[in-house]
Structure 1
Amino acid sequence: MDLPHFSWLYIVFTQITVDPNMLRSDVFVDFLKLAQLDTFGITAKRAALDIFLPDGRSIQAEILTSDTAERVLEVVSQKIGLCRELLGYFGLFLIRFCKEGKLSVMKKLADFELPYVSLRSSEVENCRVGLRKWYLDPSLDSMLMDCRAAVNLIYMQAIQDIEKEWAKPTQVQRQKLEALQKEDNQTKFLELSREVRHYGYLQLDPCTCDYPEPGCGAALSVGNNEISCCVTLPDNQTQDIIFQMSRVKCWQVTFLGTLLDMDGPQRTLNQNLELRFQYGVESHWQWFVIYTKQAFLLSSCLKKMISEKMIKLAAENPEMEIEVPEQGKSKKYHIEQSWSKHYSSFLSRKSKIKIAEADCVLETIKEEGL
Structure 2
Amino acid sequence: QDTFQIQTQRASLDVYLADGSNIRLDIQTSDTAERILEVTLCKMGISRELMKYFSFFFFQDHEDGSLSVVKKVAEFELPYVSLQSMKELHCKLGIRKWYMDPSLDTLLMDCRASLNLLYMQAIQEVKKNWVKPTEKQKKELEFLQTNANKVKFLKLIREMQFYGYLRLDPCLCDYPEKGCSADIYVGSNEINCCIKLPTNQTKEVSLKINRLRSWQVTFLGAMKDGEESTLELRLEYNDSGTWQWIIFYTKQ
TM-score range, shorter chain: over 0.9
1:271 and 2:241 matched: no
Match of 1:167 in 2: 131
Partners of 2:207 and 2:44 lie apart in 1 by: 37
Could you list the runs of 5+ residues in structure 1 that have no partner in the other structure?
1-29, 38-42, 262-266, 295-370
1:259: Cα distance to partner? 3.4
Q: Which residue identity is paired with 2:65?
A: G
Partner of 2:156: 192
Which whole-Å CA distance do the structure 2 matches of 1:51 and 1:207 have between them? Answer: 28
Name the CA distance, whole Å, in 2 between partners of 1:272 and 1:157. Answer: 27
After superposition, the C-alpha distances for 1:99-152 in whole angstroms (9 at most, x for unaligned) are 122111111110010111111110443311111111111111122122111110
For the residue of structure 2 that corresponds to 1:75, the secondary structure is helix
Q: 2:4 maps to what in 1?
A: 34
Corresponding residue to 1:283 among 212, 236, 241? 241
TM-score (norm. length: structure 1): 0.66
Identical positions, percent: 53
The 2-side partners of 1:71 and 1:287 are apart by 38
Higher relative contact order (CA 8 A, sep 6+): 1
State the shift of 1:79 in Å.
Answer: 1.7
Equivalent position amino acid for 1:276 in 2: R
Q: Secondary structure at the match of 2:155?
A: helix
Please state if 1:155 is matched with 2:128. no
1:179 aligns with 143
**Quick one: distance in 1 between partners of 2:79 and 2:117?**
20
Counterparts of 1:125 and 1:251, CA distance in 2: 26
Query: Which protein is richer in strand relative to its size?
Result: 2
Between Structure 1 and Structure 2, whose CA radius of gyration is higher? Answer: 1
In the aligned structure 1, how far is the partner of 2:118 from the partner of 2:221? 37
Distance in 1 separating the partners of 2:58 and 2:176: 32
Find the aligned partners of 1:184 and 1:111 in 2 and give their Cα distance: 34
Matched ranges for 1:57-76 at <5 A: 57-76=21-40
> 2: CA distance between counterparts of 1:131 and 1:286?
36
Contact 1:275 1:292 in 2 (8 A): yes
Instruction: Quote how far apart the aligned CAs of 1:247 are.
Output: 1.4
What is the 5 A alignment of 1:240-279? Answer: 240-261=204-225, 267-268=226-227, 270-279=228-237
RMSD value over aligned CA atoms?
1.5
Does the Cα contact within 8 Å between 1:98 and 1:126 map onto a contact in 2? Answer: no
How many residue pairs align between the two structures? 252
1:258 is displaced (CA, Å) by 3.8
Distance 2:174 2:11 in 1: 45
For 1:244, give the aligned amino acid: K
Q: How big is the shift at 1:255?
A: 2.1
Moved over 6 A (4+): none
What amino acid is the match of 2:169? Answer: D
- The answer as to whether partners of 1:96 and 1:124 remain within 8 angstroms in 2 is no
Q: Does 1:235 align with 2:196?
A: no
CA distance in 2, matches of 1:251, 1:124: 29
- CA-to-partner distance for each residue in 1:61-116, whole Å, 9 max, x for gaps? 11111100001101111221111111111111111111122111111110010111
State the SS of the aligned residue for 1:101: coil
1:324-363 pair list within 5 angstroms: none
Of 1, 4, 20, the residue aligned with 1:56 is 20
Letter in 2 for 1:34: F
Residues 277-321 of structure 1, C-alpha deviations (whole Å, 9 max, x = no match): 111122221211111121xxxxxxxxxxxxxxxxxxxxxxxxxxx
Give the equivalent residue in structure 1 for 2:80.
116
Q: What does residue 322 of structure 1 align with?
A: none
Letter in 2 for 1:171: E
> Deviation at 1:252?
1.3
Q: Distance in 2 between matches of 1:283 and 1:100?
A: 42
SS in 1 for 2:169: coil
Give the structure-2-normalised TM-score. Answer: 0.95
Tell me by how many angstroms 1:256 deviates. 2.7
Paired position in structure 1 for 2:69? 105
Deviation for aligned residue 1:157: 0.2
Higher normalized helix content (fraction of residues): 1
Residues 124, 195 of structure 1: CA spacing in aligned structure 2 closer, same or farther, 3 A cutoff?
farther
For 1:223, the equivalent position in structure 2 comes to: 187
Match of 1:287, SS state, is strand
